Amino acid sequence: MPQSHNPDQYAPKITAPGADASLGQWLSYLEAIHPVEIELGLDRVMVVLQRLFPAKPKARIITVAGTNGKGSTVAALEALLQEAGRRTAAYTSPHLQVYNERVRLLGEQISDAQMIYGFERVQAARAEVSLSYFEFGTLAAFVAMSEADVDDWILEVGLGGRLDAVNVLDADFVILTSIDIDHASFLGNDRESIGFEKAGVLRRGIPAVYADFDPPRSVLQQALSQEVDLALLGRDYQLVQCSSQPAMVNLELGDEEFRLPDFALPVKSLAAAVVASRTLAPNLGVQQIERAVAGVSVPGRFEQVATSPLVILDVGHNPHAACWLASRLRLLQHPETRIHAVYGALADKDVQGVAKAMDSVVHSWYLAGLVNEAPRGFSAEALNAQFEQCGIESAGHWQSVPEALAEARDQARANDIVIVFGSFFTVAAARNLLYPNAAVTNPGA
Please, are residues 426 and 342 in contact by the beta-carbon 8 Å criterion? Answer: yes
Per-domain residue ranges for the chain?
7-294, 303-434
Distance between CA atoms of residues 263 and 72, nearest Å:
12
Query: Alpha carbon of 20 to those of 46, 118, 139, 422: distances in Å?
Result: 29, 14, 21, 37
Question: Which CATH fold topology does 7-294 show?
Answer: UDP-N-acetylmuramoyl-L-alanine:D-glutamate ligase (3.40.1190)
Q: 3-state SS of 245-311?
A: CCCEEEEEECCEEEEEECCCCCHHHHHHHHHHHHHHCCCCCHHHHHHHHHCCCCCCCCEEEECCCEE
CA distances (Å), 207 to each of 61, 250, 282, 368, in order? 12, 23, 14, 43
Strand 248-253 vs strand 256-261: parallel, antiparallel, or unpaired? antiparallel
Q: How far apart are CA 253 and CA 257, in angstroms?
A: 6
Class of the domain covering 303-434: alpha beta
| Structure confidence at residue 129 (pLDDT) | 94
Q: Between the CA of residue 5 and those of 10, 41, 405, what are the distances in Å?
A: 9, 10, 41
For the chain, which ranges sit under pLDDT 70?
1-13, 35-38, 183-186, 437-445
How far from 226 is each of 132, 229, 349, 441, CA to CA, in Å?
30, 9, 33, 40
How far, in Å, CA of 246 to CA of 250, rounded?
11
Q: So what's the pLDDT on residue 159?
A: 86
pLDDT of 5 reads 47
Closest residue by Cα to residue 347 from 381, 312, 388 = 381
Instruction: Give the SS3 label for residue 19.
Output: coil
pLDDT tens digits for 256-271? 999 999 999 999 999 9
The pLDDT of residue 269 is 98
Give burial (CB, 10 Å; 0-12/13-18/19+) of 15: exposed
Residue in 197, 235, 201 with CA at minimum distance from that of residue 218: 197
- 153, 62 contact by CB (below 8 A): yes
Peptide linkage before 94 cis (omega within 30 of 0): yes
Among 313, 335, 347, 317, residue whose Cα is nearest residue 419: 313
pLDDT of residue 183: 64
Best CA proximity match to 386, nearest among 425, 344, 423: 344
Q: For residue 243, what pLDDT is reported?
A: 82
Letter for the amino acid at 266? Answer: P
Q: How far apart are CA 298 and CA 271, in angstroms?
A: 16
Distance CA 361, CA 356 (A): 10
Q: Confirm if 114 and 106 have CB atoms less than 8 A apart.
A: no
Query: If we measure between CA atoms, which residue out of 194, 144, 189 comes closest to residue 164?
Result: 194
| Sheet containing strand 173-176, strands side by side | 108-109, 103-105, 88-91, 152-156, 60-65, 173-176, 208-210, 230-232
Write phi, then psi, for 16 (nearest 5 degrees): -65, 150
**Interval 114-126: pLDDT, tens:** 999 999 999 999 9
C-alpha closest to that of 176 among 227, 139, 135, 231: 231
